[in-house]
Chains A and B, each alone.
Chain A
């Protein structure tokens, strides 16, 4: 069973009297255990796809499932961890309080929340900021606590929206390493990015979206072999034509 399956996923918005097609009949699957990268320029529909998968917005037509469950249901989201783009969290909470809050939303016990909090703060390098209010966090620290909250329920599927955006080179490397660690632990990872070298380095499969349409999808090596050019060159060529 695929971790994610989208069939004819379409989203249109009304802008005045006109219709804007944000996503146009998107069909794709993400298999369990793989790292899947969404590539596309700004406004390509990457975040729209992720929001549709998480039930934050409703499709105009088409459907999506997560591990076989309709993606808008709470059952589907129980096995998912999500990091939003440019995360903004409740800044009156400390890092520990925030993770406890997220754990309670998943119905975890107090003991499980305590253990997961200690483990995750260590994993993302925020042990010393455990009792610091989030309003005092830098952008990089917010990204790290965002990753920690996405993993609080030990999810089978991790969806990351632009996880490397705004991070310094060390932060980007840490994020890449974390994705690879998650993959080794058997998790499925689906993330969007426009930092092509990162995508090329860690993804098994990629999909390139332009103006809401899927223009290319496949295994990274197969795409590179078929076109005999770098992913960056291919991406620029595909998005400009």
Chain B
């Protein structure tokens, strides 16, 4: 079973890196991270923070686009092109197929993360050399805590990929994209809306907002970019809790996806 998952994952990864969408997004992300050096040079002081901010935002934005646009086509694309018939006519279980597709998407996202992170660190290391107003040597602005924010964003992308995969098991790629983006937006905003609506609205509205907040994945809790950029401490307990939350939630989503997909006719 692990060998089958590996074969499907590697094939999914290979298919993804052949997609124009993937490398276009990756090139855009790298251009944006590299371009941050120009934006930073237009400001007085805090240049490294601007580079870090833009780098982390690029990782989040382009990772989100890859997770949603590739994730939502994972199953529906196979069904539309009928490539799924070739795979599932072999002794491959549907859950195995689903896990392989998910692992392939994570491999793609990991490659994207490594490329953006490497670019970000190179830009941070080089910017004292390029900008004459920045003082310090090449290692002055290389901030190891950036990896913590990147780790949290990767967890968020793992969860978002599971959301996209779930929608992909029962609807078209277009609808799955709409649903995934909506879930992402709700997951980022529900906490804020709940805080804002805690006093000034009716009980029914408050219960509805609370229901949505607890039902949808809370994506905002993965966002520690500001803390990292501005040097605010994040406790190990917070990392532990958020990691556990992500793993538990995505396991639940994959179980639901597997249940739906196992019953689906692949006509």
B93 touches A74 (CB 8 A): yes
Partner of B4 from A54, A84, A104 at Cβ < 8 Å: A104
For residue A84, which residue of chain B has the nearest CB?
Answer: B85
| Residue A41 interfacial (CB < 8 Å) | no
Residues in A whose Cβ lies below 8 Å from that of B83: 88-90
* 0/1 interface trace, chain B 87-131, chain A, CB 8 Å (1 if under): 111111100000000000000000000000000000000000000
CB pair A56–B267 under 8 Å, yes or no, is yes
User: B135: CB under 8 A from chain A?
Assistant: no
Counting CB contacts under 8 A, is A57 at the interface?
Answer: yes
Say yes or no: A90 contacts B15, CB within 8 Å: yes
Which B residues are CB-close (under 8 A) to A159? 89
Q: Quick one: CB contact mask for A90-107 with B, threshold 8 Å, 1 for yes?
A: 101100000001101111
B residues less than 8 Å from A84 (CB atoms) = 82, 85-86, 89
Tell me if A's interface is mostly helix, strand, loop or mixed. loop
- How far does the alpha carbon of A93 sit from the alpha carbon of B11 in the complex, in Å? 8
A166 an interface residue at 8 Å Cβ cutoff?
Answer: no
Q: How far is the CA of A89 from the CA of B3 in the complex (A)?
A: 20
In this complex, the member of A56, A58, A80, A82 whose beta carbon has the largest number of chain B beta carbons within 10 angstroms is A56
Chain A CB count within 10 A is highest, among B4, B18, B87, B89, for: B89
Residues from chain A with Cβ under 8 Å of B88 in the complex: 54-56
B3 contact set on A, CB distance < 8 A = 104, 107
Q: A93, B14: Cβ atoms under 8 Å?
A: yes
A75 lies within 8 A of B91 (CB)? yes
By a CB distance below 8 angstroms, the chain A residues around B89 are 54, 56, 77, 80, 82, 84, 159
**In the complex, are the beta carbons of B82 and A88 less than 8 A apart?**
yes
Contact between B18 and A105, CB atoms less than 8 A apart: no
A19 to chain B, nearest CB (A): 15
In the complex, the answer to whether B86 meets A77 with C-beta atoms within 8 Å is no
Q: Is the CB of A106 within 8 A of B90?
A: yes
Complex Cα spacing A107 to B5, Å: 11
Q: How far is the CA of A105 from the CA of B92 in the complex (A)?
A: 7
Interface on A for B, CB 8 Å cutoff? 51, 54-58, 74-75, 77-78, 80, 82, 84, 87-90, 92-93, 101-102, 104-107, 149, 153, 159
Hey, which bits of chain B sit against chain A, CB under 8 A?
3-4, 6-8, 11, 14-15, 18, 81-83, 85-93, 263, 265-267
Q: Which 9 A-B pairs have the closest CB atoms?
A: A104-B7, A74-B91, A82-B89, A92-B18, A57-B265, A78-B91, A105-B90, A54-B89, A56-B266
